[in-house]
């Protein structure tokens, strides 16, 4: 299993990368925004540069909650040209994704809500040139205390994949019906440490078609009132890929500084 891992240690204007999910509706602010920009530079025997950026918006009014999250990741590494012997910087990782969700709580302070979810992603080194999906359905606040909560939703949707060309096959595309399920568990371990576990599955209805699964685990430690240190581990899995050139699983490991405003 191939693991594509990125360690981001120095962040400017960062933010807490939250999932586009119903749990966000419990925050007090009507409009909140946050941003992340981080990089890791390596010199010496080998040279490389990583950059991670993100933008997050949440708007809440009455029984409506609107969420938008954008993330981008890029990496360049020094590589030697076998023919000329010269060293050049080549892009070895380049991906970005967008998540947007709208929730409507059926009753004021109620537990049930309706949702509409849109996602889009591009990855230069993935079997899929791009992946997009739309889903709508029902969700519920299943469990909530002063220190923890569990939200989950499920609904039908549609997924569109652009598949890269290979040496033997041209670029193609697929449109599939899916069932999407999401869950977010949050636990406040103490006044300084928070744990989050986010899961999403986009299961293709038709057998043999690509399904997508994602898991993101994070632990956030408060440094000062508006700044935190966050460790996160994300796993992306596609069930159907060209196994001669690509792997099913990608992982991203990151340490970031988090600034909330």
**All structural domains of the chain:** 36-260 (2.40.160.40)
Query: How buried is 211 (Cβ within 10 angstroms: 0-12 exposed, 13-18 middle, 19+ buried)?
Result: middle
Q: What integer pLDDT is reported at residue 89 of this predicted model?
A: 63
Tens of pLDDT, residues 70-119: 988 887 776 666 666 666 666 666 888 999 999 999 988 789 999 999 99
For residues 6, 76, 100 and 235, what is the CA-based torsion angle, rounded to 10 degrees? -30
Q: Among residues 114, 189, 195, 187, which one has the least CA distance to residue 154?
A: 114
**For 133-166, how does the pLDDT look when each residue is reduced to its tens digit (9 = 90+)?**
999 999 998 988 989 999 999 999 999 999 887 7
Please report the pLDDT score of residue 99 as a whole number. 94
Name every residue whose Cβ is closer than 8 Å to that of residue 211 and which is 6 or more positions away in sequence: 178, 201, 202, 203, 204, 238, 239, 240
Predicted pLDDT at 239: 92
Report, as an integer, the average pLDDT of 230-239: 89
- Are 72 and 95 in contact by the 8 Å Cβ rule? The answer is yes
For the chain, what is the mean pLDDT? 81
Contact 98, 70 (CB under 8 A): yes
Q: What is the pTM of this model?
A: 0.80
Contact 155, 169 (CB under 8 A): no
Q: What values do phi and psi take at 159, rounded to 5?
A: -130, 140
């Amino acid at each position: 299993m191939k693991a594509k891992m990125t360690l981001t240690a120095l962040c400017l204007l960062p933010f807490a990368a939250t999932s586009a999910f119903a749990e966000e509706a419990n925050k007090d602010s009507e409009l909140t925004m946050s941003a992340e920009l981080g990089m890791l530079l390596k010199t010496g025997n080998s040279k490389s540069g990583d950059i991670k950026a993100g933008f997050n918006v949440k708007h809440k009014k009455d029984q409506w909650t609107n969420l938008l999250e954008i993330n981008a990741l890029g990496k360049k590494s020094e590589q030697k040209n076998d023919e000329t012997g010269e060293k050049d910087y080549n892009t070895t990782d380049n991906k970005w994704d967008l998540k947007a969700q709208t929730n409507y709580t059926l009753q004021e302070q109620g537990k049930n809500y309706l949702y509409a979810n849109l996602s889009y992603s591009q990855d230069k080194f993935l079997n899929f040139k791009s992946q997009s999906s739309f889903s709508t359905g029902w969700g519920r606040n299943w469990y909530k205390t002063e220190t923890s909560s569990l939200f989950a939703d499920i609904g039908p949707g549609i997924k569109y994949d652009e598949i890269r060309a290979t040496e033997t096959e041209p670029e193609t595309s697929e449109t599939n019906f899916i069932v999407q399920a999401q869950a977010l568990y949050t636990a406040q371990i103490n006044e300084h440490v928070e744990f989050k576990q986010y899961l999403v599955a986009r299961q293709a209805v038709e057998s043999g078609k690509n399904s997508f699964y994602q898991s993101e685990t994070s632990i956030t430690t408060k440094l000062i009132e508006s700044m935190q240190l966050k460790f996160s581990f994300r796993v992306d899995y596609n069930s159907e890929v060209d196994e001669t050139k690509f792997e099913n699983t990608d992982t991203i490991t990151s340490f970031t500084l988090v600034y909330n405003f």
